[in-house]
Structures are given as C-alpha cells and as structure tokens.
C-alpha cells in the first residue's frame, strides 16, 4: 500500500481533516477503510496529527494498521467532555482502543469452515461442480476425528475455536507466550506445549496471533520443515505471520496437505501459487464479515468514544496503551 509520504497532499489533507475533527473533541475513530486512504498510522502520520488528539478508537480487533507504540510515546495534555465539569488529563501519549471479544465467534467460525474445507480439499469438488464435472479430481479427504489440532495463540479467538473444535473429536494443544488460565482450555483439556512441539506434533495448525515485530514471518521454511508430513494449515489472523512463498513450496511438494486461508501477506494481492493450487481454500479476509459481528464491533467503538467523553478513559485499550498507563 502506498503511504502518505509518497503523496504530500494526501498527508496534508489527512492532517487538516483530523485537526478539524479533534481540536474540540480530542478523539478519533479509525478502521481499515480509513487506513486504505491514509496508509498505516505510522510515526510519520502520527506526527502530523494535532496535539489535542488523545484517543483513537479503532474498529477492529487486530490493530497493526496503527503504530500503537508511536502513539503511546507522544505526549500532550487534553481536555475532554462536552459538559461541565470537563476533564483535563495529562498522559504520555495517544491511547488506542480496539474491539476484542466482538470478533471472537465470527472469526472462530470462519476458522472451522476453513479447517473442514481444507481437510476435504473442498475447493476441488466445488470448482468441478460449477464447471459441470461433478466431483472432478477431488480424491479422498480426511475426517477431523482423532487428529491433533495445534492452536497457535490462545486468546479470545483461539479459545472460541477450541470450543467449536471439540465436538469434532479433535485432540487439542496450544502455544502462547505464556500458559493461559481460561475455562475453555481447562474444561476441554487443551494442553500447553512449546512452539516447537506444536509444530512437530500437530496434524492441523490454526494461527490466531496478533501481528507485531515478534510474530511477523514467524512461520517460514524452517518451521514448515519441522511440521508433520501432510499437515493442514489454517490462518485467519494476519497474512504476514506466514511466509507465503514457503507455504506454496510446502504445498507443491506435499509437505502441507492443504491450507485454509482468510488473510494474505500483501492484501489485497494473493500469491499466484495459492491461486493456482487446488489444495487451498481461499476467502478474502471475511472472518468478521457478518451483520451481527460488525454491529458488535461498531457498538464497542462508540462505547469507547462515550467512555472517553464521560470518564476520560477507554474501555478496551490495547496492550501498548496499558503498558504506558494510557487508558
């Protein structure tokens, strides 16, 4: 995506629009549609924003479109609220919120759809049927029963996936930065394992990690070599967590039996090898694209704005804001 740095007029327009919107109110709403116009909210764009801007309410659970560290490190003082007494708060930067929880069910449902579709290589039969060839060359797929599902990232979405996967007879394990205490993991006996053990022992690997400096490119050629032959890969998190070129190579040699993908490394571009492969079920980043989920997300965005105006703090600040004690 082209950034504002390559278009000074766009950067200036973004600054003037944000200045008008925030000099009085001290908050802004951001989302994927807006960042398609401005580019990523990186240090350059954040430096152009007015000093009165204290809060960004982001419409999405993933917030890699915003440099939350750069936001946290910018300092200013702001007065919020429309009625007396107004609140004056002095903090060290711009606080950012996202919409955790609102997307869990829909994204986990999408992961189950992709998981089952990849196990059956459903794309082959569906395409053949539309071409008047009945089943085509689909061959035999696999049942989920008895397979080991490795959940990479046991947050809200990973936990929701575990709840949905259990009735299919899948054995489950997960890896996180730290073991989690969650009713789903305890009730369903989902075992915590190391990253390497998850890669080496899972029949299916489903990715549910945020995109950040530590997860970008986490799954590459080295990691694919560790995996079991015939592994199934599902990704509904962020495309840049996985090296698509390495995935295509693993698909071509049969290391990966099939994949189910909703996210891509260079969206909206999709690697030609993935388009070409009949082993991949593809959807265009639609994990949260339901009326019910979008409504829940938008309500939480507005609730964050309301909380700022009434109480001077966000309801769901991101981890960078919490670390800097920006609420």
Choosing from 3, 164, 200, 285, which is the catalytic residue? Answer: 285
Respond yes or no: is residue 285 known to be catalytic.
yes
Sequential DSSP letters for 69-83: HHHHT--EEEEE-SS
In our burial notation (b when 16+ CB lie closer than 10 A, e otherwise), range 271-301 reads beebeebebbbbbebebbeeeebeebbeebb
Q: Which residues pair with 97 in a beta bridge?
A: 57, 317
Q: What are the structure tokens assigned to 100, written together?
A: 């955790």
Q: Which residues pair with 256 in a beta bridge?
A: 231
| Phi-psi domain of 47 (left: phi exceeds 0; alpha: psi -120 through 50; beta: other) | alpha
Q: Which residues pair with 192 in a beta bridge?
A: 174
Least Cα distance to 161 among 181, 141, 190 occurs for 190
Peptide bond just before 85 cis, omega within 30 deg: yes
d(CA 248, CA 316): 37
Least Cα distance to 239 among 213, 260, 211 occurs for 211
Respond yes or no: is residue 238 known to be catalytic.
yes
* Radius of gyration from C-alpha coordinates of the chain: 22
Choosing from 238, 271, 313, 327, which is the catalytic residue? Answer: 238
d(CA 207, CA 32): 21
- State the CB neighbour count (10 A cutoff) for residue 1: 11
The conformation of residue 61, written as its DSSP 8-state character, comes to S
Respond yes or no: is residue 267 known to be catalytic.
yes
Choosing from 44, 69, 249, 267, which is the catalytic residue? Answer: 267
Question: Is the distance from CB of 239 to CB of 265 less than 8 angstroms?
Answer: yes
Local structure of 132: helix, strand or coil = coil
Q: Active-site residue numbers?
A: 238, 267, 285
């Amino acid at each position: 995506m082209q950034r504002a740095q390559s278009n000074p007029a766009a950067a200036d327009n973004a600054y003037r629009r944000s200045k008008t919107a925030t000099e009085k109110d001290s908050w802004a709403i951001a989302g994927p549609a807006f960042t398609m116009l401005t580019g990523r909210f990186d240090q350059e764009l954040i430096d152009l924003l007015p000093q009165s801007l204290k809060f960004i309410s982001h419409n999405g659970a993933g917030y890699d479109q915003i440099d939350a560290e750069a936001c946290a490190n910018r300092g200013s003082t702001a007065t919020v609220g429309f009625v007396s007494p107004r609140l004056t708060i002095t903090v060290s930067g711009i606080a950012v919120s996202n919409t955790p929880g609102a997307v869990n069910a829909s994204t986990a449902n999408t992961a189950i759809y992709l998981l089952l579709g990849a196990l059956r290589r459903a794309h082959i039969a569906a395409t053949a049927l539309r071409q008047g060839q009945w089943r085509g060359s689909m061959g035999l797929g696999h049942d989920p029963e008895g397979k080991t599902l490795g959940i990479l990232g046991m947050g809200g979405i990973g936990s929701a996936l575990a709840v949905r996967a259990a009735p299919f007879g899948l054995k489950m394990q997960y890896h996180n930065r730290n073991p989690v205490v969650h009713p789903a993991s305890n009730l369903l006996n989902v075992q915590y394992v190391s990253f390497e053990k998850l890669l080496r022992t899972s029949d299916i690997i489903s990715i549910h990690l945020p995109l950040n400096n530590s997860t970008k490119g986490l799954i590459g050629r080295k990691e694919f070599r560790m995996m079991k032959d015939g592994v199934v890969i599902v990704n509904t998190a962020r495309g840049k967590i996985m090296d698509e070129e390495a995935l295509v190579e693993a698909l071509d040699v049969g290391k990966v039996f099939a994949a189910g993908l909703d996210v891509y490394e260079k969206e909206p571009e999709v690697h030609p090898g993935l388009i070409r492969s009949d082993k991949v079920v593809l959807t265009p980043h639609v994990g949260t694209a339901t009326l019910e989920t979008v409504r829940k997300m938008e309500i939480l965005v507005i609730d964050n704005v309301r909380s700022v105006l009434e109480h001077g703090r966000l309801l769901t600040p991101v981890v960078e804001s919490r670390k800097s004690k920006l609420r």
